[in-house]
């Protein structure tokens, strides 16, 4: 399956591969199907292809440019980290498990069936600009380094990120560096790093504890799906029972009431919409509290205020239960991809017991100390995000009314220090008029309201959040509550 037009690093076949830690002769060239190994991540099936014309080859590295199957990821891979696909297929399938991995292998086989001996290349985006990649492949970037792996120009993790390789990158080096690094807490908080993103492979060893999950909304659905994919035993309950059907088909068990789920499971997670829903779930009829007995564990992943979570912790512990708050930072897509950021506080031992669950649902998790700290931190994070979204919408509408191109504004922002996947995705929502919810507008307004109250409690001014909150309230009055937060844009055009 050779091809013409090989790049500088693929003009001569390279004769090496892994074999018991030693190199053995093998020829690789443009068009070959391979297993690519990136850093500490497991081998993944891909194809050696031509890179976009303005994509730089890493200095001093003998490598090939690989397009991976089953994802939209690309990477420069060093030749010693490549193996021929067919010769090692059986070996790789034995050592790698998981639904996403199997889907990638299936994609290779489908490619081979379609090729039928013809010379076909996997499609690389025609546009060599990062602008096009940000809206497509780069929006689903999965492999990321841990805090112990600083981003450097010579680091293969960094070269995996196409944005760093173009002559005119849409995102500056500093912005990428900040995105790839895991935040280092100066306060002494600790974190559990996901051993592997669930979006890439299924190598997590699930806990043998029985897991319960209450609440199958935008966030909860993705979380439960990833828990099941990683082999956890999960019992689900949702106020609207029909939402449980899909997960029952995927292997989950059905709980009739929150109390039943808690009484039959070792650790029960909950993710609901607001403080009232969180309290009703615990204190209401057939609620969590009725199922709590000594040793039972309850993890509330809802975004609520510190007073609410403290009250829930007290009643759970009073019955001999163990409590952890663990709100999540992210959206529906990140939940589906298992790439959430989890902020936890409360029972440290329970936090550690949840390790495999947190690895399945998130890219990293932080332990922030006593109950209430995670709630406060989560509200601050969402306050910043919500205020930023309102500012984005304000800028786009101001551009429009002054006769400036909104698309050009986005292009300019994507070339500067504000560039981010969040900025690009939300602007695209607005430009396309697509406000399908990824993070409900009514929930970001709720978080802004709670963050303002948090500031009031400590006599700290939050004028930016207060202004943004008024805009979201206006959007809610225009029936935008159940749209994505980017629908705040409509508050400025009515």
Q: The domain 204-371: what is its CATH number?
A: 3.40.50.720
Instruction: Between 444 and 86, name the one with better pLDDT.
Output: 444
Q: How confident is the model at residue 195 (pLDDT cuts 50, 70, 90)?
A: very low
**Predicted pLDDT of residue 101:** 80
pLDDT at residue 416 above 70?
A: yes
pLDDT digits 0-9 by tens, 170-189: 333 233 233 333 333 334 45
pLDDT tens string 352-387: 999 999 999 999 999 999 999 999 999 999 999 999
Confidence of residue 396 (pLDDT cuts 50, 70, 90): very high
408-435: average pLDDT: 95
191: closest CA among 316, 380, 329, 37? 329
Q: pLDDT band at 248, cuts 50/70/90?
A: very high
**Secondary structure of the chain in the HEC alphabet?**
CCCCCCCHHHCCCEECCEECCEECCCEECCCCEEEECCCCCCCEEEEECCCCCCECCCCCCCEEEEEECCCCCEEEEEHHHEEEHHHHHHHHHHHCCCHHHHHHHHHHHHHHHHHCCCCCCCCCCCCCCHHHHHHCHHHHCCCCCCCCCCCCCCCHHHHCCHHHHECCCCCCHHHHHHHHCCCCCCCCCEEEECCCCCCCCCCCCCCCCCEEEECCCHHHHHHHHHHHHCCCCEEEECCCHHHHHHHHHCCCEECCCHHHHHHHCCEEEECCCCHHHHHHHHHCCCCHHHHCCCCCEEEECCCCCHHHHHHHHHHHHHCCCEEEECCEECCHHHHHHCCEEEEEEECHHHHHHCHHHHHHHEEEEEECCCCCHHHHHHHHHHHHHHHHHHHHHHHHHHHHHCCCCHHHHHHHHCCCCCCCHHHHHHHHHHHHCCCCCCCEHHHHHHHHHHHHHHHHHCCCCCHHHHHHHHHHHHHHHCCCCCCEHHHHHHHCCC
pLDDT surpassing 50 at residue 158: no
Q: Is 336 within 8 Å of 163 (Cβ atoms)?
A: no
Q: For 89-128, what is each residue's pLDDT tens digit?
A: 888 888 776 777 888 888 888 888 887 655 444 443 333 3
Tokens of 37: 């190994």
Domain map of the chain by residue range? 32-112, 204-371, 377-491
For residue 488, pLDDT over 80 is answered with yes
- What is the assigned CATH class of domain 377-491? mainly alpha
Q: pLDDT-derived band of residue 52, with 50, 70 and 90 as boundaries?
A: confident
pLDDT of residue 60: 67
Tell me: the pLDDT tens digits for 470-480? 999 999 999 99
Q: What is the mean pLDDT of residues 143-150?
A: 38
pLDDT value of position 197? 40
* Cα–Cα distance for residue pair 172/369, rounded to 1 Å: 35
Could you tell me the sign of the dihedral formed by the alpha carbons of 280, 306, 183, 460, in that order?
positive
- pLDDT score recorded for residue 272: 97
Please state which architecture CATH assigns to domain 32-112: Roll (2.30)
| % of the chain exceeding 90 in pLDDT | 59
Task: Give the least confident one: 18-27, 177-186, 374-383, 433-442.
Answer: 177-186
- What confidence tier does 19 reach under pLDDT thresholds 50, 70, 90? very low
Place 204 in a pLDDT band, splitting at 50, 70 and 90.
confident
| CA–CA dist 313, 302 (Å, integer) | 13
- Residue 257 in this model has a pLDDT that exceeds 50: yes
Q: How confident is the model at residue 234 (pLDDT cuts 50, 70, 90)?
A: very high
Span of 195-199, 232-236, 247-251, 321-325 with lowest mean pLDDT: 195-199
pLDDT of 134 higher than 50: no
Percent of the chain with pLDDT over 70: 74
Mean predicted lDDT score pLDDT of the chain: 80
- Residue with the bigger pLDDT between 81 and 427: it is 427
Question: What is residue 227's predicted lDDT score, i.e. its pLDDT?
Answer: 96
**pLDDT at site 118:** 53
Q: Is pTM, for the whole model, over 0.75? A: no
pLDDT reading at 11 higher than 90: no
Report the pLDDT value the prediction gives residue 427, as an integer from 0 to 100: 97
Give me the mean pLDDT over the 132-139 stretch: 35
pLDDT of residue 452: 98
Given this model, what pLDDT does residue 203 score?
59
- What's the pLDDT at 177? 30
The yes-or-no verdict on residue 311 having pLDDT over 90 is yes
């Amino acid at each position: 399956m050779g091809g013409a037009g090989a790049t500088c690093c693929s003009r001569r076949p390279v004769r090496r591969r892994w074999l018991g830690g030693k190199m053995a002769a093998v020829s690789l060239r443009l068009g070959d199907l391979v297993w690519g190994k990136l850093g500490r991540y497991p081998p993944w099936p891909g194809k050696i292809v031509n890179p976009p014309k303005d994509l730089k080859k890493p200095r001093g590295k003998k490598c090939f440019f690989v397009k991976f199957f089953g994802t939209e990821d690309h990477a420069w891979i060093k030749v010693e980290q490549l193996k021929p696909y067919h010769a090692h297929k059986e070996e790789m399938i034995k050592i790698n498990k998981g639904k996403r991995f199997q889907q990638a292998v299936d994609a290779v086989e489908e490619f081979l069936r379609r090729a039928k001996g013809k010379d076909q290349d996997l499609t690389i985006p025609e546009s060599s600009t990062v602008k096009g990649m940000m809206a497509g492949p780069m929006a689903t970037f999965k492999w990321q380094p841990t805090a112990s792996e600083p981003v450097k120009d010579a680091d293969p993790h960094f070269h995996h990120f196409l944005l760093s390789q173009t002559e005119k990158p849409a995102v500056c080096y500093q912005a990428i560096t900040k995105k790839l690094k895991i935040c280092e807490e100066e306060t002494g908080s600790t974190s559990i790093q996901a051993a592997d993103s669930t979006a890439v492979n299924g190598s997590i060893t699930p806990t043998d504890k029985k897991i319960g999950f209450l609440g199958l909304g935008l966030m909860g659905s993705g979380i439960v799906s990833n828990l099941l994919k990683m082999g956890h035993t999960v019992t689900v309950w949702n106020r609207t029972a029909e939402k449980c059907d899909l997960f029952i088909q995927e292997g989950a068990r059905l709980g009739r009431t929150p109390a039943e789920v808690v009484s039959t499971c070792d650790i029960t997670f909950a993710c609901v919409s607001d403080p009232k829903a969180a309290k009703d779930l615990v204190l209401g009829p057939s609620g969590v509290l009725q199922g709590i007995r000594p040793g039972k564990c309850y993890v509330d992943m809802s975004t609520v205020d510190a007073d609410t979570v403290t009250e829930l912790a007290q009643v759970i512990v009073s019955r001999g239960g163990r409590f952890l708050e663990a709100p999540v930072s992210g959206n529906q897509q990140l939940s589906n991809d298992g790439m959430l950021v989890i902020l936890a506080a409360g029972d440290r031992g329970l936090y550690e017991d949840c390790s495999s669950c947190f690895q399945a649902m998130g890219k990293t998790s932080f332990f922030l100390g006593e109950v209430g700290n995670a709630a406060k931190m989560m509200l601050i994070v969402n306050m910043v995000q919500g205020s930023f979204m309102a500012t984005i919408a304000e800028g786009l509408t101001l551009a429009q009314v002054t006769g400036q191109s909104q698309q050009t504004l986005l292009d300019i922002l994507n070339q500067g220090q504000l560039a981010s996947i969040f900025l690009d995705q939300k602007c695209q929502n607005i430009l396309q008029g697509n406000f399908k919810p990824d993070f409900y507008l009514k929930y970001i307004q709720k978080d802004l309201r709670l963050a303002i109250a948090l500031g009031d409690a400590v006599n700290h001014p939050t004028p930016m959040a207060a202004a943004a909150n008024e805009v979201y309230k206006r959007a809610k009055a225009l029936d935008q509550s159940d749209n994505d937060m980017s629908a705040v844009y409509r508050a400025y055009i009515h």
